[in-house]
Amino acid sequence: MLVLGLTAMLTLTGCQSTNQSSDMISIERDQGSKENISSLSSVIAANPRDPGGYNVRGSAYGRAGEFQKALADFNTALQLNPNFYQAYANRALVYRNMGKPVEAANDYTAALKINSSYDVAYIGRGNIYRQAGRVDEAFQDFSKAIELDTTDGRAYHNRGLIFQLRGQHDKAIDDFSKALSLSPNAPEPYNGRGVSYLALNDDENAFADFNHAIDMNPKLAESWANQALVYERRGDKVKAAKSYAHALSLDGKYTPARDGLARTRGSTS
């Protein structure tokens, strides 16, 4: 009974943490630097009627975390060219980072009305649907992106999470593997695939995947907590507690790590 319970917890862990990380803007100093934005502003000054300049600068503002300025640039780009579907998708991503999923979904839908073959918008909208619990609609969007031969591994990764949620672990593993073939340095598909391996009682492959996830990015609490759970299943509470503690040091609010440490060490601080 303990093994089944731990497997269920790990499956939940994988789905929860990837929900938080998928498809969000990472703050990048180079792209969002004052120097880069200043250069883009010079381009706009020379070509004030070119919507592309505003779209590019809006993306740079987004990377810098200056979301209001990013929105203003995307709005200008769309005023100059109402059919600029990429600007809709870029604005949607900013809305997502601002915690406005309704506005983001509307923008992705607007992009798809202009270009029904735009895989980026299907993936972005699918992520919003999945996080809102609209799993069937999310599945349709990810599958549509895949039908369009997307080279974006997120489509396969996120559809894999839905297969996982439905208990279809063989299909989930296939999707996670495809995601890794497209994005070999992404830790999330390793964690996702490891969860499904563990659900099928393939602890060795699960452990290997969790370790790969740690190698790709040692700062993800999820990966360390997943590794710890394999140690716990093996009965090695000392190593499990060490990995759970490390996960907590990375994210003090990560409940699976805190609960795991309580089980293996007996108490938490």
Is residue 238 predicted with pLDDT exceeding 50? yes
Say if residue 237 is exposed, middle or buried (CB neighbours under 10 Å; 0-12, 13-18, 19+): middle
Quick one: pLDDT at residue 34? 79
Measured torsion, CA atoms of residues 168, 173, 176, 178, in degrees rounded to the nearest 10: -110
Q: Are 198 and 230 in contact (CB under 8 A)?
A: yes
Query: DSSP code of 132?
Result: T
Euclidean distance between CA atoms 180 and 154, whole angstroms: 9
Q: Are 267 and 245 in contact (CB under 8 A)?
A: no
pLDDT confidence band for 93 (50 / 70 / 90): very high
Euclidean distance between CA atoms 42 and 61, whole angstroms: 15
Is residue 4 predicted with pLDDT exceeding 60? no
Q: pLDDT digits over 96-138, tens only?
A: 999 999 999 999 999 999 999 999 999 999 999 999 999 999 9
- % residues pLDDT > 90 (the chain): 84
Listed residue (162, 163, 159, 135) closest to 145, CA to CA: 159
Six token digits for residue 136 = 């069937």
For 152, the 3-state DSSP assignment is coil
Is residue 239 predicted with pLDDT exceeding 50? yes
Q: Are 51 and 78 in contact (CB under 8 A)?
A: yes
Euclidean distance between CA atoms 5 and 174, whole angstroms: 24
Quick one: pLDDT at residue 17? 36
Euclidean distance between CA atoms 194 and 59, whole angstroms: 34
Q: pLDDT digits over 32-54, tens only?
A: 577 889 899 999 999 999 999 99
pTM of the predicted protein model: 0.86
pLDDT confidence band for 24 (50 / 70 / 90): low
Quick one: pLDDT at residue 90? 97
pLDDT confidence band for 13 (50 / 70 / 90): very low
Helix and strand totals (H; E) in the chain: 15, 0
Please work out, in degrees rounded to the nearest 5, the angle formed at the alpha carbon of residue 39 by the alpha carbons of 38 and 43: 115
Is residue 267 predicted with pLDDT exceeding 90? no
Quick one: pLDDT at residue 20? 42
Listed residue (18, 19, 10) closest to 244, CA to CA: 10
Mean pLDDT, rounded, of the chain: 90
Q: pLDDT digits over 177-234, tens only?
A: 999 999 999 999 999 999 999 999 999 999 999 999 999 999 999 999 999 999 999 9
